[in-house]
Amino acid sequence: MGKKVIYKEIEITNERISRLKYALLLLLIALIGTGAYILTQYSLQHVLHNAVLSSYLSIPVGAVVVGVGLILLNRYLINHGVMIPILKRRVERTVFISPGNGWSIDEELIRRHEDALRFADRDSEGYVTGLAMLSFMYLQNAIAYDDRSLYLKARDYLNRAKDAMRTVNVSDEVKILVERLEKEVEGSRSRFE
């Protein structure tokens, strides 16, 4: 049995934004959406020469601007570790990753990490670490369930991590993590092929 990799899942770690500041940011987004609505209505009224039609056509523009603004604001705050008031604080938990131990990892946890990886900055060290951790998780589940498709996913995430390492400057710890992962995947190759 190899060394255990301890990976702490901390989804939101830093400060919490106050309700007042968050409300002011929401108000700013609403004002920008209203401005887009008014500008669109005014422009369409001159083109169509029909105030009612231009009003109806401008409503979706304002709604889209507000919707996109809310999504971008929340994504920005979450990616910068700022907890928004509508989210509950997640409990920190430790996941022991050791592919040889025979334990499985909860698939919901893996799905959450895959979802988080979609929004991660692809030019960061955290992205490479996330790919490596997902590969470890899939490898551990592949060994626990004796499932070749999970092994192939683990190998796919390993290859994506190695590709990302070529373009991203990563620390020695991440390089060691990926090298260890590669040894684990290659060591399990005969079991699944």
More confident: 110 or 93? 110
More confident: 10 or 188? 188
Cα distances from 101 to residues 64, 110, 134, 165, in angstroms, run: 49, 18, 17, 28
Asked whether 14 and 83 are in contact (CB, 8 A), the reply is: yes
Across 13-17, 32-36, 76-80, least confident range:
13-17
Domain boundaries, the chain: 5-11+90-192, 19-79
* Residue 111 to residue 189: CA distance in whole angstroms: 24
DSSP strand pairing (5-9 vs 93-97): antiparallel
pLDDT at 90: 52
Q: Mean of the per-residue pLDDT values for the chain?
A: 84
pLDDT at 2: 47
> Residues 95-112: pLDDT tens digits?
667 777 778 888 888 888
Angle at which helices 125-145 and 148-167 pack, to 10 degrees? 160
* Residue 54 to residue 32: CA distance in whole angstroms: 19
Residue 10: band (very low, low, confident or very high) from pLDDT cuts 50, 70, 90: very low
Neighbouring C-alpha atoms within 13 Å toward the C-beta of 58:
22
pLDDT at 96: 66
pLDDT at 162: 94
pLDDT at 12: 36
Share of the chain above pLDDT 90, in %: 47
